[in-house]
Amino acid sequence: MSDISALQKARYLYQPKLPEAVKGKVTEIALKLGAPTEAISDKDELKKMLKSTYGMPIATFEKGSNPKAGDKINVGVILSGGQAPGGHNVIAGVFDGLKNGNKDSKLYGFLGGPAGIIDGNMIEITKDLIDQYRNTGGFDIIGSGRTKLETVEQFDKSLKVCKDKNISAIIIIGGDDSNTNAALLADYYKSKGETIQVIGCPKTIDGDLKNEHIETSFGFDTATKVYSELIGNIQRDANSAKKYYHFIKLMGRSASHIGLECALQTQPNWAIISEEVEKEQKTMVTVVEEIVDIVVKRAANGDNFGVILVPEGLIEFIPEMKILIAELNDLLAHKADEFAKIATSEQSAWIAKNLSKVSSDAFKSLPASIQAQLCMDRDPHGNVQVSRIETEKLLIDMVAARLDVLKKEGKYKGKFAGLNHFFGYEGRCAAPSNFDADYCYSLGYIAFLLIASGLTGYMSSVKHCAKPATSWIAGGIPTSMMFNLEQRHGEKKPVIKKALVELSGAPYKFYVKHRNDWAIKTSYVFPGSIQYYGPTEVCDAPTKTLILEQAGK
């Protein structure tokens, strides 16, 4: 490898912490199974769909005996979807568990994501290779991809590859879609009488793959700490220059976990929570008026600056915009060929003409730049690519326009200058925090133990994550427990339900309790950069979200 920094060199040597129950020889760690489980909804239909894996019990580990963990086996691992800090440590955990069991066992990495297992494109992960990636960010050890494992043809191709390469188990590291597909693959193999096991690991910096057993998805801790450092830096700058309002868009299309966590860490003047917007049916005008009210009140105190956090997916939670986007997706899906023939300069007029009157009026009210962004190429699901819609700029323009009206009416005497930012890729491949380094290593190690215990269709699980790593509870959760049925491409399909911000949850309630004070009185917190070496309370601290959710447990 090329020259490396002193920090990276030191991180190679960091030994992640494991839950107490899974320390020592893997042959002396026993599986404990609980009662049968059920899906969160659509139970009868899912039971018929997942005949081979539905209803399996929750698994935990304790000291005991498991001679099978010493068998010589070959395992394949896949990185799927967007990058998240800690992915390399999941693979390191699998590798170390595998070699702990039998030094002749082998770990293979499928290259380029799920496509690798379909095409048989793979490499062996050796000690020399994995040692170059321990405790580092990124997915570059084997790469990732967004190919979906969802058709029988793909399942059969992957089965042939595994048989040809003598691979007895697959570990899929991914988000909700990837783990959905992992569970369906496991059920397919088992229904065919095949013994190849499939285990998932929960990954997504968005934080929306969680429940009482999967308490957090990996990468969320590191990404929110990276974003919070940047937000803190901007807040310091805002408080120094005292002349700008910074509108900061943060990743999180389907949920506002990142925005909420960053708000708890930095105490900005306002953080929009998409789930609240949807529940209270706030219009774009309502959202703008809330910000305008803060700007006016701060100006009365002589403060013409501030920081506003905006969730990436906000525009899809605003009622009129949600309807507009749904109509747009449908229109551009059914009339794609006709739309492609229209000159760029005439596309907006064509769209406005083909929408319902309500949606057409909403579309025409938007700036030309936002109209163009709504017309861009769709994502693989056929949906608008919300990360490319500059919602933060739209809010700045609308707030400025409203303040101009208030100034003319003599109701506002301050100055407003807005600056926009989008923090996304900055956090996806950061060097994992100690929490994520430990958590991911544990997830990988436990994934091997689930395989060694003969299980399939499970997701690696760690509980009590707000406590020190040695107190974590290691186990596995049947992925089918997280399923509900959703309409996809005209038919009902099993899907892991995304976990949105709970408006009855402790993190949101804590934010609501304090946000009006933070809005008017400058109360910024400056978290600084992630610390890897030093006091435990600084270096190993979990997210504010986990601390609040598990307070008193």
Point out the residues that are catalytic.
206
Strand 458-463 and strand 473-478: pairing?
A: antiparallel
Burial 23-38, CB ≥16 within 10 A → b, else e: eeebbebbbeeeeebe
The tokens describing 412, both together, are 């506002």
Beta bridge partners of 19: none
How many DSSP H helices and E strands does the chain contain?
Answer: 22, 15
Contact 227, 258 (CB under 8 A): yes
Residue 74 DSSP symbol: E
DSSP for 225-284, please give it: HHHHHHHHHHHHHHHHH---EEEEEES-SS--HHHHHHHHHH--SEE--HHHHHHTT--H
- Strand ordering across the sheet containing 306-311: 270-271, 306-311, 245-250, 418-423
Exposed / middle / buried, residue 441 (Cβ in 10 Å: 0-12, 13-18, 19+): buried
Q: Which residues pair with 77 in a beta bridge?
A: 109, 171
The phi, psi pair for 286, rounded to 5°, reads: -60, -45
What is the distance between the alpha carbons of residues 46 and 136, in angstroms, rounded to a whole number? 39
Q: Are 111 and 123 in contact (CB under 8 A)?
A: yes
Beta strands, E only, 84-183? 106-110, 122-124, 169-174
CB 182 within 8 A of CB 89: no
Q: Name which of 367, 403, 228 is nearest 307 in CA terms.
A: 228
Tell me, what DSSP letter sits at residue 415?
-
- DSSP lists the bridge partners of residue 198 as 170
Q: What length is written for the chain?
A: 553
Distances (CA, A) of 104 to 72, 191, 370, 408: 6, 30, 57, 78
- Which stretches within 144-219 are classed as H helix? 152-164, 176-191
497 phi, psi to nearest 5 deg:
-70, 130
Distance separating alpha carbons of residues 95 and 119, to the nearest angstrom = 23
CA distance 201 to 178: 9
* Four-residue CA torsion sign, 266, 270, 274, 277: positive
